[in-house]
Amino acid sequence: MKKLGLIGFPLTHSFSKKYFQEKFLRENLQDYSYELYPLENIQQFSQLLTQHPELIGLNVTIPYKEQILPFLDEISENAQKIGAINTIAIQNGKKIGYNTDYEGFLVSLQNFLQDEKPKKALILGTGGASKAVQAVLEFLQIPFQLVSRKKGTSLLSYEELTPQIIENASLIINTTPLGMYPETNTYPPLPYESINQKHFLYDLVYNPEFTLFLQKGKARGAKIKNGLEMLYLQAEAAWDIWKEI
């Protein structure tokens, strides 16, 4: 049996296990299984591999997409540029890190925008998922501004977001866990009254389907999209890596 799984903490929000179990059933892949491995801290990663020597691959989610880097033997060129990992392949004891979030988000965003090209974007959050989003916007040549809870070098705080800034950024992407199950009553503190029908709101959160961030945007006439398509796309890109092992 070839084992795959997901590491992160907590993992109550994850659809990955269900997705891959259904895929294995549908495609009659009887030699594979997929499990959730909630790690309270990243130091438990080595112990996990010792306990489950049959693991050939892992997905990585919040909060370990950056913390996992020192534990890997090799990192793909793309993942190195991004500085975050969401997929690991384990072959002959060698742990190789990849970032399939990049591919998933690129295709999903292009499907969302169609032929529109925003003049500016706001990226909410600065974690591992944000890094893949930043790389995609750089590739698409869409200028962006990072927004975080605290002001920093090249970072705006939420308090600094004026109606003018919101009006000028027609694409707003939430890469934070705000609104994710079970904390579904949370949302990024934006001046939502400045959002209109020219805006595109993309939320990497996919559980629930419509976060308060998306609901508030839709109420103002914005086009909205959640991260479910991105999840499927990045999962299939990860599978393309694992099936070669």
115 Cβ neighbours under 8 A, 6+ residues apart:
none
Domains of the chain plus CATH, in order, are 2-99+230-242 (3.40.50.10860), 102-229 (3.40.50.720)
Position 234 scores a pLDDT of: 97
240 Cβ neighbours under 8 A, 6+ residues apart:
none
Position 12 scores a pLDDT of: 80
Q: At which residue do the structure tokens 């002959």 appear? A: 92
pTM for the complete prediction?
Answer: 0.93
From 18, 65, 81, 131, the catalytic residue:
65
Question: From first to last of its 245 residues, what are the pLDDT tens digits of the chain?
Answer: 999 999 999 998 778 999 999 999 999 999 999 999 999 999 999 999 999 999 999 999 999 999 999 999 999 999 999 999 999 999 999 999 999 999 999 999 999 999 999 999 999 999 999 999 999 999 999 999 999 998 888 899 999 999 999 999 999 999 999 999 999 999 999 999 999 999 999 999 999 999 999 999 999 999 999 999 999 999 999 999 999 99
Query: For residues 147 and 155, is the Cβ–Cβ distance under 8 A?
Result: yes
Residue 18 annotated as catalytic: no
**Residues 183, 185, 191, 194, CA torsion sign:** positive
For residues 231 and 177, give the distance between their C-alpha atoms in angstroms, rounded to a whole number: 15
